[in-house]
Amino acid sequence: MPLFDWGGDPWAPLKEMQRELGRLLGRGGGESQLVGGGSYPPVSIYDGEDRMIVLAEVPGVPLSALDLSITDDTLVIKGSKPAPEAARESYHRRERGSGDFSRTVVLPDSVNAEKIKAQLAHGILRIELPKSEASRPRKIDVQSS
């Protein structure tokens, strides 16, 4: 009897392991989710020429329950996910979390705090952070003599 049943795809056990790890890290899956602790909400950070973009997954969180603050290059996303109104005993399945959360994101550059734009659509928070003058690459004209 073989030690491993490869089942045709030699990478299948590795893919399975990757999926299980992804689930533990909160990238989807059937396990319950921790809110208030761990790393919630999931975020992605993108760097552009003159601005950075931070995306956060906050399904079910209304705009009024979100609070953003920035200090130099550190963004803090705070909020509260409303608890469902149903009584606890009537649940057949409960995987969604609820409660207060806070996540700190250290950005690759410092930010011009005056010009930050944030919008919420379909449960995704998109924050556009223009870089401060000091951290922006400066073009230097070379004069020919």
Partner 1 sequence: MAKNESNDVRVTRGKTERTEGGPSRAPYVDIYETESGLTLVAELPGVSADGLAVEVEKGVLTISGKADAPALEGYRPVYEGMALGGSFFRAFALSDEVDREATTASLKEGVLTVQMPKAPQARTRRIDVEGA
| Residues within the interface to partner 1 (CB under 8 A) | 8-9, 15, 19, 27-30, 32-33, 39, 42-49, 52-53, 55-62, 84, 86, 90-96, 108, 120, 122-124, 126
Report CA-CA distances (Å) from 135 to 5, 51, 71. 54, 10, 15
Structure tokens at 2: 């073989």
Q: Which amino acid is at 129?
A: L
Nearer to partner 1, 13 or 62 (CB): 62
Nearer to partner 1, 42 or 99 (CB): 42
| Shortest Å, Cβ 39 to partner 1 | 7
| Shortest Å, Cβ 34 to partner 1 | 12
| Shortest Å, Cβ 28 to partner 1 | 4
Rg of the chain over Cα atoms, rounded to whole angstroms, equals 21
Comparing C-alpha atoms, which of 73, 84, 82, 76 is closest to residue 125? 76
| Shortest Å, Cβ 62 to partner 1 | 7
| Shortest Å, Cβ 76 to partner 1 | 16
Nearer to partner 1, 93 or 138 (CB): 93
Nearer to partner 1, 2 or 30 (CB): 30
Nearer to partner 1, 90 or 143 (CB): 90
SS3 119: strand
Comparing C-alpha atoms, which of 33, 128, 137, 132 is closest to residue 81? 33
Comparing C-alpha atoms, which of 64, 65, 43, 67 is closest to residue 53? 43
